Amino acid sequence: MTEFPEIVPVPEGAVALPDTAVSLSPEAQLADASLDEEVTPILPDSNVSTDGSSSASANGCVVGSTDVGASSASSDATCVAVPPRRPYADKERLIAYAREYATVYNPAYREFGNDCTNFVSQALASAGWQYRYGMWFSDEAWWYRDPSPSPKQSHTWGGSQNLANFMELSGRAKTIHHWASVKPGDIIFVRYTFYPDGDREANRKAKNKGHTMIVTGKAGSSYLDLLVSYHSSDKPGRLDKRLGEFMAEAEASNDPPVTYYPRRLK
Examine residue 137 and state whether it is found in any structural domain, yes or no: yes
Q: Are 213 and 190 in contact (CB under 8 A)?
A: yes
212 and 101 together in one domain: yes
Q: What is the pTM for the complete model shown?
A: 0.69
Render pLDDT for 187-234 as a digit per residue (tens, 0 to 9).
Answer: 999 988 755 555 666 655 556 788 999 999 999 999 999 999 999 887
Cβ pair 115, 210 in contact under 8 A: no
Question: Total structural domains in the chain?
Answer: 2
pLDDT tens across 56-87, in order?
Answer: 333 333 333 333 333 333 334 444 444 455 55
The answer to whether residues 232 and 192 belong to one domain is yes
**Residue 11: inside a domain:** no
Question: How many angstroms separate the CA atoms of 33 and 146, rounded?
Answer: 42
In a shared domain, residues 174 and 248: yes
Mean pLDDT for the stretch of residues 138-163: 92
Alpha carbon distance 60, 54 (integer Å) = 12
Say whether 228 sits in a helix, a strand or coil.
strand
Q: Name the nearest CA neighbour of 101 among 125, 120, 129, 128.
A: 120
131: left (phi over 0), alpha (psi -120 to 50) or beta: beta
User: How far is the C-alpha of 142 from the C-alpha of 173, rounded, in Å?
Assistant: 14
What is the mean pLDDT of the segment spanning 21-46? 36
Whether residue 148 is found in the same domain as residue 206: yes
Under the banding of pLDDT at 50, 70 and 90, the label for residue 36 is: very low
